[in-house]
Amino acid sequence: MNITTLGASGIECETVGLGTWAMGGWMWGGGDDAAAIDAIRASVDTGVRLIDTAPAYGLGHAERLVGTALQGRRHQAVIATKCGLVWHTQQGTHFFDEDGKPVHRHLGRASIFHEVEQSLGRLQTDYIDLYITHWQDSGTPVAETMGALLDLKRQGKIRAIGISNATPETLAEYLRHGPVDAIQERYSLIDRDIESTLLPPCQEHGVASLGYSSLALGLLAGPIDPSRQFTGDDQRAGNPRFSAANRAKLKAFFDALAPLRQRLDCSYAQLMIAWTTRNGGVSTALCGARTPAQAIQNARAANLTLDPTALAAIDTAAALHLETLD
């Protein structure tokens, strides 16, 4: 598999990682814990080391699943989890309610120290490889947040520091106070804003880039059955990107790529994942999976290298069919 490094930390992982947001159930119409655990194990079995999770994914549920799945094989995984979305305190700024509990953005020192202990317990480990500030907190100085993270690193409870959902200015402020090993931002064929905003300073400062929603919540995984319905609290139910008109545009896009998919003997999802880690894209694509089959398919994208002809075919099809995606 293609390998990358998390900034200056020296921590190596594949160019494809497993995202566990959907495994937490919240905003995804529920979940299947047994299938999720099997999917995590299948990812590791296939060679994927980076497992990305967060306390907010089901109020700790996804972290518990990761901890259970990695019992006896913690050394085979690179665990990334997060801090800054809290429900143990009402300090900070209210962000949303989850399962009836108000969740706030807060990155104060005491809160971070509380959060890391909770995550370590749920993950059944004594260290976290990459600890990421999940959403930024305008009410706490970055110097205070970074000071707490650096202290946790000195204590051996975390190995590397990351930030997520940040601006270039916020990244620069973090870098003023210490090393940032990775950013984590939304990035896919239809979400490319960071190419001109965050990726240039990351490349300048040696910061790795992890792209989440590499398949755009499943929109880019392949043609979606027109009759498929998203129900319950599944965020896709009210997402205009999943409209009937957009599904038709996406079908035309995938039809245009059918010869390329056949030539490379890969799935549409693998094509899209490999595109995100092309030269100039993100260093690691985080891909959600809720079954072992999905996890294995995504993992195999780390073996796929797209030549200039393939990249041109994808870009041409996207320009024809996706630029007007609502």
With tokens 């050394």, the residue in question is 75
Catalytically annotated residue among 57, 131, 174, 187: 57
Instruction: Confirm if 85 and 55 have CB atoms less than 8 A apart.
Output: yes
Q: Note if 57 is an active site residue.
A: yes
Give the span between the Cα atoms of 240 and 75, in whole angstroms: 41
In whole angstroms, what is the distance from residue 30 CA to residue 283 CA?
30
Question: What does the alpha-carbon distance between residue 121 and residue 123 come to, in Å, rounded to a whole number?
Answer: 5
DSSP string, 244-280: HHHHHHHHHHHHHHHHHHHHHT--HHHHHHHHHTSTT
Q: Is 75 exposed, middle or buried (0-12, 13-18, 19+ CB in 10 A)?
A: exposed
Residues 174-208, buried b or exposed e (16+ Cβ, 10 A)? bbebebbbbbbbbbbbbbeebeeebbebbeeeebb
Active site residues: 57
